[in-house]
Structure 1
Amino acid sequence: MISEFVREQQRYTQKDLCRILECSEEKAIPLIRQLKEFGVLKAVRASYNQRDMSELLDEDIEVADVEAGEDEYYYVFTFVGVIVVAGRVMKCYPKYLLHADQPKEELRQVLKVLEKYNTNEQIVRMFNDSSEGSAFNLLAVLLFLMQDYYENGIYENTDNIVESNGSGEIIWDKTINENFAMITYNRPYYVDLQTRKRITDDHDYFKRLHECILTIASNELEDAGLLNLFELVGVDLTEETLNDFGDKEVILYNIEKELNTQFNTRKQLVLKTIYTYIDHSGSLYDIDCLSLFGTNSFNLVWEKVCAEIMNNQLDTRLGALRLPIPLKDKYSKQTKLIEIIEKPLWTVTGKTATDTLIPDVVSVSVVNGEWQFLIFDAKYYNAKLEPGMSPKAQPGIESVTKQYLYQLAYQEFIDEHNFSSVKNCFILPTEDDAVLDKEEVSLQMLSKIGLQSIKVRFLPAKMAYENYLSGRKLDIALLKL
């Protein structure tokens, strides 16, 4: 199977995509249209400025149809993860990886981050939404079945049998009613005990069906070169084929009957996934197959990672916070840190609006013996900030002003509780191995009223992901704020 790496937000020409897809322009056109339809590929008008841009603005996106041989458009992947289209695997890595053509280890770690990020959803994304409806997401189904197998094992149905003097649970009612007791000192002793034993039916229809589909899934993912990328080990559980279980309608009917009698949540999910797989059938090689694992919004993933590793306390109640001095009486212990931020008052109504400023990360920390009030904004940008050069691809003025306002919103609370300092900082990802100190950004008119300039730090994505995956907090001292 054809397998290539592509970088998020990089500009590709039509010839570049033909090379990646290893096909002629005539064959590439329907594939490009398919990728655009599902929102993982965008078109922008080709220009000198666009060629070097690392961000995609909504106003730059073109909606024109794709024609063979055209060179007036660049094509931009707006996706991080894995795309499979018509037997071709495109491994989309994040845009901050600027100097790696084959970032296998980096993408493997990113996929693990995506898996953890999606854990709370408790759903299998069996279908992809497009502008013209939805389509079966075979890759997501195969990955779910494999990962579920490694976590929970094979689908099993068990039977309970009764034994005499077995090693299982004693069935006292049956023992007392069906056996003689020896009475010693007015106490009954039973020589024969009736016990319950649970056995697995190795020839169960659904156990065998699960094994068959797992074997097929393993082979498909191995052929696509994805087992290693997702850190999965292939399985070969049976030599049976789907034809051994009856035709499609028979298999689906049997699954429906089993679902009606099965109340275990995990087993229900496995049965429903198998049902969908059988019902839609197909292969990663199919010409109309487009499967996705990943996200169009990796900025939200970066925000979540930063919030986790930097101990975001926005939803922490004030009574549970460690503060330099005891909480002032004017604040309720039940109030959350986020609720301190003032809401707009519309005087004609006499009521405040429900919406207000919401920072990405706010945390209280002791760094080198100093109580710091930390305000972080996780920015997923490829900012170019070099001495003597105009900034490029940096956070915009609205981001800078909001960050100042976050500090202003908490300033009274900070002053009242004797914090040594307030640290305000943009956090951007980098492929480097060490934190990069990019000094700060400031607005003099706001600095004059006592607000701190905003620090700018590039945090190694690898370091951030390692902390996120292991559940550790980042050592804030590394940022040298």
Structure 2
Amino acid sequence: MRVAYFRELRPYSEDEVRAELAAGIDETRAVINALMGCGIVRYRTGDERDEEGLSEADGACAAQRYRFRYVGVVIARGHAIVCYPKYVKSTTRPEGQMKQALKVIRNLGKKGKLLDPQEGGMHSDRLALMIRLLWLYEEYGIYSNFEETRVPNGPGIIDWQRSIDMEIPVISDGVPIYLDLWTRKIRRDEYDLIMRLHRAVLSECSRFLEKSGLSSLLSVGVVELTDEKPVNIGEVEYLQWLIDRERANQFVTWKQDVLDLMRAYLSELGADAEHGRVLRLGTTSYYHAWEVACKVAFGDLLDYRLRELPLELADGWLDCECETLLQVIPRPVWTRAQGMGDAGDVDTLIPDTITFAEVGGKRLFCIYDAKYYVPNEHGKIKGQPGVESITKQLLYQSAYQRFVEEHGFDGVTNTFLVPTEESVPRLLGSVSFPGVMSAATGASEKFSDHIDMWALPAREGFDCYLRGQVLDPAVYESLLGQPDVGQDASSPTIDCAHELLPMG
């Protein structure tokens, strides 16, 4: 099966889709309709207002009316389709970037949860079921049950209690000597139907993915355990009854997961399900993955209690040392008219990432906002964060003004982080808000009067997430060390003020 590649949010014409699928007109339209039916392909009207996708439509003609709003793999009407992230603009097929993206999706999708709750869990789609089963096999091996038997004078561990109960000893000098001993023997039940079913399901899943051409991309090895198919073992209802009986007596978590997945797989009719169904593993919310990656890469401190932060709390903050940095932000207060009482608590501002750094001997309070945008490179900026994002970012530093001033920070940095396929961070621009920014930040020079927008290497950011480590110091230094737009200052040296801190 040929694998077709499409870039997230890039407009495609019907002819471009047909050429990539290597299919006829009728088949192409059927695939597009199937993908539109499950929200993977959206129709481009030309008057979209979503900030993150505006730059993707630059120069698009009227015929380019289809957009893949999705990152992941799809099988539709026998066609294997890969939708890769929109920040990958290289002309070659991005196998390496997609392998990383699928690892991120896999990591965020552990325990049957995908990035977007509306898309359902791992149990809701047959492709996800197959891949999850193969991943569990890769980690734990084949599902097996063991039988424990006792035999006289056999190999294994001596069962002294049974030996004493069953055998008559010889007394020598008042000491009992047992000439025959019973031993415990544990063997795997090779004829167990659940084990046979597991082997058959895994082999069928592996053959299906190998045929689709997705095995390598999904980093799933070939699994050939048996020629037997699930239908050869028994009827679906009987196999599900066996699974339910086994599940009632199984208390090992990964085995419970295998049983649940196999039952769902059988209810989906295995690998021989309806040809016209769309199978998928991915998300329409890959922006969430970028937000999570940036939190890890920069060592987000939002959820840390104040007493756990890498600083000495000022006297006025000791009474709230158990609060988190997020709880420091005040909440809006509503009151009802005509003295009708308190209107209750409402939601407040929630920044993406807060961290501390030292730059040239100065302590900085850093506010980062991960934006899954791809701004255009030339002319008027398109696809950049809009006025709502700008004002929220401004309010974040205003909300932390007292904390910054009373803990002796020398300055505040305010930064948008957008992903790029490039290998080094790059300053794309900065935004100021004359007449608004200065009024909100106050007269103190500690607070930023602009917000920088940096392109951060996506590979580095997602690697940090997968490893659970902060950004490499060299990359971090490059990002914070360059001068602002329009300035001639030399790049200061920086030291990261903390590593990932253990939660208390």
What TM-score range do you get, normalising by the shorter chain? 0.7 to 0.9
The residue that corresponds to 2:454 in the other structure is 457
Aligned with 1:362 (options 333, 354, 359): 354
Matched letter for residue 44 of structure 1: R
Equivalent position amino acid for 1:410 in 2: Y
Pick one of 95, 108, 126 that aligns with 2:86: 95
> Does 2:385 match 1:395?
yes
Higher alpha-carbon deviation: 239-248 or 33-42: 239-248
- For 1:13-52, list aligned pairs within 5 A: 13-45=13-45
Partner amino acid, structure 1, of 2:367: I
Give the Å deviation of 1:215: 1.1
The equivalent position to 1:267 in structure 2, one of 225, 237, 255, is 255
Please, which runs of 5 or more residues in structure 1 have no aligned partner?
58-70
Q: Which residue does 1:82 correspond to in 2? A: 73
Q: Which amino acid aligns with 2:208?
A: E
Distance 1:163 1:477, change over 3 A: farther
Whether the 8 Å contact between 1:81 and 1:91 is mirrored in structure 2 is: yes
Distance 1:459 1:191, change over 3 A: farther
Deviation at 1:430, TM superposition (A): 0.4
Give the Cα separation in 1 of the matches to 2:209 and 2:4: 15
Residue deviations 1:388-416, cap 9 Å, x none? x3211100011111111100100111110
Distance in 1 (CA, whole Å) between partners of 2:65 and 2:54 is: 11
Contact kept in structure 1, 2:171 and 2:177, CA below 8 Å: yes
State the SS of the aligned residue for 2:206: helix
Residues 323 and 203 from structure 1, CA distance in 2 versus in 1: closer, same or farther, beyond 3 angstroms? same
Q: Give the 5 Å matches for 1:394-433.
A: 394-433=384-423
CA contact (8 A) 1:128 1:291 kept: no
- Aligned-partner Cα distance in 2 for 1:284–1:430: 40
CA distance in 2, matches of 1:185, 1:401: 94
Aligned-pair distance for 1:328? 3.5
Greater CA deviation, 442-451 or 216-225? 442-451
Distance, in Å, in 2 between the alignment partners of 1:272 and 1:283 is 17
* Distance in 2 of aligned mates of 1:117 and 1:158: 33
Matching residue of 1:384: 376
Distance in 2 separating the partners of 1:137 and 1:416: 52
After superposition, residues 159-198 of structure 1 pair within 5 angstroms as 159-164=147-152, 168=156, 170-179=158-167, 194-198=182-186
Write the distance in 2 (CA, Å) between the matches of 1:331 and 1:395: 37
- Structure 2 letter corresponding to 1:472: Q
CA pair 187-427 structure 1, distance change in 2 beyond 3 A = farther
Task: Give the gaps of 5 or more residues in structure 2.
Answer: 56-61, 482-504
Aligned-partner Cα distance in 1 for 2:40–2:76: 12
Alpha carbons of structure 1 residues 205 and 79: separation in structure 2 relative to 1, 3 Å:
same
Q: How does 1:236-247 map to 2 (within 5 A)?
A: 236-247=224-235
Aligned to 1:307: 295
Shift of 1:354: 3.1
The worse-fitting range, judged by mean Cα deviation, of 103-112 and 174-183 is: 174-183
Alignment of 1:270-285 (within 5 A): 270-281=258-269, 283=271
The CA distance in 2 between the partners of 1:383 and 1:310, in whole Å, is 22
Q: Secondary structure at the match of 2:202?
A: helix
1:37-64 Cα distance to aligned partner (Å, 9 max, x none): 11111001369x99xx97069xxxxxxx
| Residue from 126, 134, 139 that aligns with 1:146 | 134
Give 1:129 deviation, angstroms.
Answer: 5.8
Shift of 1:167: 6.4
Shift, 1:473, TM fit: 0.5
Tell me the CA shift for residue 238 of structure 1.
Answer: 1.3
Question: Measured at CA, do residues 398 and 195 of structure 1 come closer, stay the same or move farther in structure 2, by a change above 3 Å?
Answer: same
Amino acid at match of 1:143: I
Residue 203 (str. 1) matches residue 194 (str. 2): no
Looking at structure 1, the residues matched to 65 and 46 of structure 2 have their Cα atoms a distance apart, in angstroms, of 5
The letter for the 1-side match of 2:466 is L
* Residue 471 of structure 1: aligned partner: 468
State the secondary structure of the residue aligned to 1:400: helix
Task: State the secondary structure of the residue aligned to 2:320.
Answer: coil
C-alpha distance in structure 1 between counterparts of 2:8 and 2:377, whole Å: 20
CA gap 1:324/1:440 in 2 versus in 1, 3 angstroms: farther
Distance 1:457 1:199 in 2: 60
Aligned to 1:68: none
Equivalent residue letter for 1:271: L
Deviations 1:240-280 (A, max 9, x none): 23343133343333333333443433223222322222232
Which sits farther off after the overlay, 346-355 or 304-313?
346-355
CA-CA distance at 1:311 after TM superposition? 1.1
Give the % identical residues.
32
CA offset digits 1:50-85 (Å, max 9, x no partner): 9xx97069xxxxxxxxxxxxx766000000000110
* Matched-pair contact (CA < 8 Å) for 1:86–1:286: no
CA contact (8 A) 1:5 1:91 kept: yes
Partner SS for 2:93: coil
Question: In structure 2, what is the equivalent of residue 6 of structure 1?
Answer: 6
Deviates more, 1:97-106 or 1:424-433: 97-106
Q: Give the direction of change, closer, same or farther, for the CA distance of 1:178–1:123 in structure 2 (3 Å limit).
A: farther
Following the alignment from structure 2 to structure 1, what is the Cα–Cα distance between the partners of residues 156 and 193?
Answer: 26
